[in-house]
Amino acid sequence: MKVFVTRVIPPDGLELLQRAGISVTQWTEKRGLSPAELIAHCRQYDALLLASDNHIDRTFLEQCRHLKVIALLSVGYDKVDVAAANELRVPVTNTPGVLSAATADTAFLLMMSVARKAFFHYRRILRGEWGFSEPTANLGVDLEGKTLGVWGLGNIGHVMAKRCVSAFNMKVIYHNRGRNEAAEKELGAVRVSFEELLAQSDVLTVHTALTPQTTGVFNKAVFEQMKPSAIFINTARGAIHNEADLIAALQQGVIWGAGLDVTNPEPMQPDNPLLDMPTVAVLPHIGSATEETRNAMSAMAAKNILAAFKGDPLPNPVTSL
């Protein structure tokens, strides 16, 4: 059996595959594969481990129906046409759970960085402006006792909320389709309407999946319902916010700050006005980027491939085959 991997991935997953006698080819060039190249490569393999942002659309799936599995190195599967994968009977798997803590830590890091204007102060040092100090200049805000609003309180949102309660005794409110009873019990989290979430959050953190229902939700009208002192954090998917509306909301003082690990579009261009704003922190989609987490993700993806090759039930399917 042969597996094609679209990037060089951490060793834990590779070793699992190689120890099982599977031949693994990694794409080592420092450029992404075009859709046609991906199809051409995959036609020579039995499974795909997708560690890049290539889209698995109907065209790809029609050309690669022979694949025994497409194992994503991500929890998000918005780049996959799941309906077409089901119809064409190509199983797809993801990596839930193992990246929750690292991604929540990234949200926490962004929240802290925005609250204390950390990226802005760092840029002041680079510009040679660490000289004259003024007690009233460029102050941040405290987070102690503030209200954290979580939009999408699942695994990642739960860890973020736990961090915020432990570190800053923050009050947690959330908006989900269903209740998260574990978070209510453990953290005193209170489920509220979307409108209440907007009106009451001092920090509003987004942890929903990207779906047609969540695309573009954070737009002008929604930012206008938030507190002028609010911090908006997005570590989920950039397409959940309208970036032009976010820029305008920050420039006009509609909200106070923003921390983004995901942007709309990605990659963000270096001349984006967000990168110059004192109360903004942007990271290049590094939510799960720790040694431990990326190894755990590669092992999980490998286990899905091994199961597919053996004909066993897939541990982490996103398709329903």
Q: Which residues are catalytic?
A: 237, 266, 285
Residue 316 makes contact with ligand DGY by CB under 6 A = no
Helices 155-168 and 100-115: crossing angle, nearest 10°? 50
Alpha carbon 150 to chain centroid, angstroms: 14
Find the radius of gyration of the CA atoms of the chain: 21
Q: What is the dihedral of CA 72, 78, 82, 85, to 10 degrees?
A: -50
Nearest to 235 by CA among 201, 215, 263: 263
**Among 287, 306, 308, 316, contact with ligand DGY (rule: CB under 6 A):** 287
Residue 98 makes contact with ligand DGY by CB under 6 A = no
Residues 213 to 232: which contact ligand DGY by CB under 6 A? none
Q: How many residues does the chain have?
A: 321
Helices 100-115 and 118-126: crossing angle, nearest 10°? 70
In the block, tokens 């089901």 appear at 86
Q: Which amino acid is at 299?
A: A
Residue 301 makes contact with ligand DGY by CB under 6 A = no
Residue 238 makes contact with ligand DGY by CB under 6 A = no
Residue 295 makes contact with ligand DGY by CB under 6 A = no
Residue 208 makes contact with ligand DGY by CB under 6 A = no
> Rounded to the nearest whole angstrom, what is the least distance from the CB of residue 11 to ligand DGY in the complex?
19
Residue 74 makes contact with ligand DGY by CB under 6 A = yes
CB 209 within 8 A of CB 184: no
> Rounded to the nearest whole angstrom, what is the least distance from the CB of residue 72 to ligand DGY in the complex?
8
Residue number, 3 or 262, with CB nearest to ligand DGY: 262
**Among 242, 264, 279, 288, contact with ligand DGY (rule: CB under 6 A):** 288
> Rounded to the nearest whole angstrom, what is the least distance from the CB of residue 300 to ligand DGY in the complex?
11
> Rounded to the nearest whole angstrom, what is the least distance from the CB of residue 153 to ligand DGY in the complex?
17
Q: What is the dihedral of CA 133, 134, 135, 141, to 10 degrees?
A: -90
Site for ligand DGY, rule CB under 6 A = 74-76, 99, 287-288
